[in-house]
Amino acid sequence: MIGGPEVAGLDVAAGLPGTRRLRFAPSPTGQLHVGNVRTALFSYCLATPEGRFILRIEDTDRERYNPESVSEYMEALTWLGLTWDEGPEVGGPCAPYVESERLPLYREAANRLVATGAAYPCFCTRDRLEELRAAQRASGLPTRYDRHCLHLTKAEREAQRAAGRPEVVRLRMPPGESSWNDLVLGLQTFDNAEMDDQVLMKSDGYPTYHLAHVVDDHLMGITHVVRAVEWLPSTPKHLVLYDALGWRPPGFAHVPLVLGPDRQKLSKRHGAEAVREYRQMGYLPEALVNFLAFLGWSPGTEEEVFDLSELRQRMSFERLQSSPAVFDQQRLDYLNGVWIRRLSAAALAARLAEFLPGVSPEQLEPIARMVQERIRRLDEVPQLVRFAFSDTDPDADRLRGQLGTAEAADFLSGVIPLVAGDVAELMPTLRLRVAEFTNGQPESARARVRQLMRVVRIALTDQEVSPPLDAVVDLLGSDRAGKRLRRALERLQAGG
RNA sequence: GCCCGCAUCGUCUAGCGGUCAGGACACCACCCUUUCAAGGUGGUAACCGGGGUUCGACUCCCCGUGCGGGUACCA
């Protein structure tokens, strides 16, 4: 065990595996959002094949904590292929990887900070803080804590504690500037005077994000922090913490946000946002990964189809984009189609299983073959092959379409014997029959071919749109196909 | 209010002082075609505005504008 809390305490971080160590540290409050996934994906890829990708659960907000969401997150990440080298379930040298199980470490860090004067206890009530902010805002000042409790004497602190007043620990922002070279945005400089004295330990005994992630990133030997730009303004606080604790900060890469079509931060208002929903809509993890990777990254070449291992091979901080990206579902759809067509029929069949419950495995593969070229999402399939699993009985009007009833019946009667034969012969012979019915009408031949074929299609599937007819007959079997054609013929004859 | 970030076709992006500003999605047309797709060919479409710097700016600097983020005992 290296760096584990029981064994090592706060100052050991060396000797951990991996040339680079990056982490994804979600807060388990709901479902895994595609914006977060993009961040996780970048971290995973930027860890490179030689590095380590670590999953850490940031469950320090007990109000919003949702226990189910931890397994939800893990399931989603696994589905996407973003497997973690260290973290919950797999363990690792820095275990535990769940922050609520690491409380003594944060307490120790907080005590150390208070002891050196880098942080101080604060007993201000929420009401007082709110009034303070309202007043500051009213007079056009930045809203910051007024350090009311900074200079409390030891006796005054003890008096507050004796009175049972809730206590937090605040970081004392030192004067000066904080700057760092952001791996995405370049040189960043903030005036510390603009920063609030951030609460580090909450009155419920849990650390805030700020303390917990600095302590954990250090202890876990994180080399590069990849997070969304919304964290940019709090980076100076983190830098101050690293300095006060005598630790070397990691590199920071602030990645731009993922926006909805209206350029607002992507949310449920824009439709789906959870990975699970995309899965249910029939998106392949390969496509989602490929699509998300290009929201803020590009290889600099004209290649655009990448799998996860290629992305991990190719991604670099230098090529990360600094402007926000709009989530364009049409492009996702396109890429999903590309990935569907890249699958083998057997592989596609396996993916289809969850969309076609009750369909036997033997039937899945022919279905996969017939839909592969024509779908962009897996959830289109049930509709496309509905004809094979439910009875059809179109009436005469629907059957004949633009054709005369007698004509349609005549054509159909000649088709019936064809489906009893070899399916491979079906289309050539069908074309010959079509030719007999289009002689002498070269001008309208195209339209007539269309009409004639349509009669067969409707008879067989009762759908205007279906897979190719030979595939349809193949899936139906010649018995069922023949029955449907004969039934259709009866309808036409009765209707005429 | 205060602080900060960002800015190339509708969208994702290439570009890193001199390009006919390239590719992809979407869209349109045509071809292929039994429907729908897939595929092929072609087309429409962009450097937010104003100042500088420079022989020369999409590229560098400043201002404005727009969009976004932060401003919690949430992350």
Q: What is the pLDDT of residue A2?
A: 32
- Stretch A361-383: mean pLDDT: 96
Assign A91 a pLDDT band (cuts: 50, 70, 90): very high
Distance CA A82, CA A289 (A): 9
Going by pLDDT thresholds of 50, 70 and 90, the confidence category of residue A332 is: very high
Q: A298-306: which pairs have CB atoms within 8 A and are 24 or more residues apart? A: A305/A335, A305/A338, A305/A339, A305/A342
Per-residue confidence band for A3, with pLDDT thresholds at 50, 70 and 90? very low
Q: Name the closest nucleotide to A322, judged by C1' and CA.
A: B6
pLDDT of A11 above 70: no
pLDDT at A264: 82
pLDDT digits (tens, 9 = 90+) for A143-181: 899 999 999 999 999 999 999 999 999 999 999 999 999
Q: Which residue is nearest to nucleotide B38 (CA to C1')?
A: A373
How confident is the model at residue A10, as a pLDDT? 58
pLDDT band at residue A137 using 50, 70 and 90 as cut-offs? confident
Residue A194 has pLDDT above 50, yes or no: yes
DSSP E strands: which ranges in A134-244? 168-171, 177-182, 186-191, 199-201, 224-228
Mean pLDDT to the nearest integer, A317-346: 96
Output the CA–CA distances (angstroms, integers) from residue A390 to A455, A462, A463, in the order listed. 19, 10, 12
Tokens representing A9? 């305490």
Rounded to a whole number of angstroms, the distance between the first and last alpha carbons of chain A is: 85
The set of residues, in sequence order, having a beta carbon less than 8 Å from that of A113 and lying 6+ positions away, is A119, A169, A171, A200, A241, A244, A245
| HSE toward the beta carbon, residue A472, CA cutoff 13 A | 24
* A74-93 mean pLDDT: 97
pLDDT at A440: 58
pLDDT tier at A267, thresholds 50, 70, 90: confident
Rounded (10°) angle between helices A345-352 and A361-371: 110
| A267-281, A300-314, A456-470: segment of lowest average pLDDT | A267-281
According to the model, what pLDDT value does residue A444 have? 65
Distance, in Å, from the CA atom of A16 to the CA atom of A13, rounded to the nearest integer, reads: 7
Instruction: Identify the H or E element spanning A368.
Output: helix A361-371
Residue A1 binned pLDDT confidence (cut-offs 50, 70, 90): very low
**Where residue A141 falls among pLDDT bands split at 50, 70, 90?**
confident
pLDDT (0 to 100) of residue A108: 97
Strand partners, A5: none
Q: Length of chain A, please?
A: 496
In terms of pLDDT, which residue wins out, A438 or A308? A308
Nearest residue for B23, CA–C1': A302
pLDDT of residue A4: 35
**CA–C1' A219–B21 (A):** 48
Q: Supply the residues of A annotated as catalytic.
A: 268
What are the residues whose beta carbons fall under 8 Å from the beta carbon of A182, sequence distance 6 or more? A188, A232, A252, A253, A254
The nt closest to A27 (CA vs C1′) is B75
- Predicted confidence at residue A409, as pLDDT, reads 95
CA(A61)–C1'(B69) in Å?
A: 22
| Average predicted confidence (pLDDT) for chain A | 93
B41 C1' – A250 CA distance, angstroms?
Answer: 52
- pLDDT of amino acid A300: 93
pLDDT at A139: 87
Mean pLDDT of A202-225: 97
| Protein CA A146 to sugar C1' B74 (Å) | 22
Q: Specify the nucleotide whose C1' lies closest to residue A122 (CA).
A: B73
Nucleotide closest to residue A204 (CA–C1'): B73
Mean pLDDT is lowest, of A159-173, A443-457, A473-487, for A443-457
C-alpha to C-alpha distance for A57 and A86, rounded to whole angstroms: 12
Distance A303 CA to B23 C1' (A): 9
- Name the residue closest to the C1' of B25 by its CA: A331
pLDDT of residue A435: 85
Q: Residue A496 CA to B9 C1' — how many Å?
A: 56
Q: For residues A94 and A407, give the distance between their C-alpha atoms in angstroms, rounded to a whole number.
A: 78
- The tokens describing A493, both together, are 């004859």
Strand partners of residue A181: A187
Nucleotides of B under 7 A from a protein CB: 1-8, 10-15, 22-26, 34-39, 67-75
Question: Is the torsion defined by CA of A60, A61, A67, A70 positive or negative?
Answer: negative
Q: What is the pLDDT of residue A261?
A: 85
- Beta carbons within 8 Å of A399's beta carbon, 6+ residues apart: A408, A412, A455, A458, A459, A488, A491, A492, A495
Say if CB A496 and CB A396 are below 8 A apart: yes
What pLDDT is attached to residue A5?
35
Spell out the domain ranges in chain A. 104-255, 268-372, 386-494
Q: Which nucleotide is nearest to A297 (CA to C1')?
A: B13
Phi, psi torsion values for A387, nearest 5 degrees? -55, -30
Element of type H or E holding A23: strand A21-24
Q: Give residue A142's pLDDT.
A: 86
CATH architecture of the domain formed by A104-255: 3-Layer(aba) Sandwich (3.40)
Tell me what the mean pLDDT of segment A468-475 comes to: 96
User: What is the architecture, at CATH level 2, of domain A268-372?
Assistant: Orthogonal Bundle (1.10)
Q: pTM of the full predicted structure?
A: 0.94
Q: To 5 degrees, how large is the angle CA A39–CA A89–CA A9?
A: 85
What backbone phi and psi angles, to 5 degrees, belong to A199?
Answer: -70, 130
Distance B72 C1' – A237 CA (angstroms):
15
Residues with Cβ < 8 Å from A219, sequence gap 6 or more?
A3, A5, A8, A10, A12, A13, A94, A105
Q: Which residues contact A151 (CB under 8 A, 6 or more apart)?
A: none
Fold that domain A386-494 belongs to in CATH: Arc Repressor Mutant, subunit A (1.10.10)
